[in-house]
Structure 1
């Protein structure tokens, strides 16, 4: 149990740092009202989760490696709280079009 907690924590540490770096990098090149950086990490993370589970079904992965990647790394890399906060900021600023667009893109992609 302790090993699982440690690998999830380490994966979360790496995922959170990579999320922050990725969001800042994408938003630097695409500085729009909606955060394309958050959209990028959520879509990429969802794609990686799909690949991971497809691979795990065919080849098998150790439970520790699955916990590290899915719960730790990808759980921290993808982010619902940042998405929610950005939507709140868009609503508060009266930017309703970008608010709707942000929700549609993040939920349906």
Structure 2
């Protein structure tokens, strides 16, 4: 477990730096009138999560420490939307479209709502 945690930490450091670089690069390119940088990392991260799940889990069956470093640490720090995406797709592939739809709806509505609540609470202090 210790080696896996170290792998996640190292992957997370790389993912966070990549997120910063990619999102800022996109903002410099397209401006800040729309959250293009966040959208870019979410789209790239979701594509990478799907591809890496197929390659590292289904095809190559790489060591858990490598998967943890790349997927949990790296993509987790790059964007947690990638995890949301692969879990939702897993529900769809298992034939549980209703759960997938509920997950999408609740995740967006609840997360945005509680973010707003946190913002309001923080502003009250």
> How many Å separate the matches in 1 of 2:69 and 2:60?
17
Contact 1:7–1:64 under 8 Å retained in 2: yes
Which residue pairs with 2:61 in the alignment? 60
Larger Rg: 2
Residue by residue over 1:19-64, the C-alpha shift from the partner in whole angstroms, topping out at 9 and shown as x without a partner, is 0111110000100422111111111011011011111202211111
Which residue pairs with 2:17 in the alignment? 17
> How many Å separate the matches in 2 of 1:71 and 1:30?
29
Which residue pairs with 2:109 in the alignment? none
CA drift of 1:79 comes to 4.7
Contact 1:38–1:79 under 8 Å retained in 2: no
Normalised by the length of structure 1, the TM-score is 0.70
Normalised by the length of structure 2, the TM-score is 0.61
Runs of 4+ displaced beyond 4 Å? none
Q: Between the two structures, name the one with larger relative contact order (CA 8 Å, sep ≥ 6).
A: 1
Structure 2 residue runs without a partner (length 5+): 82-111, 117-125
CA RMSD after TM alignment: 2.0
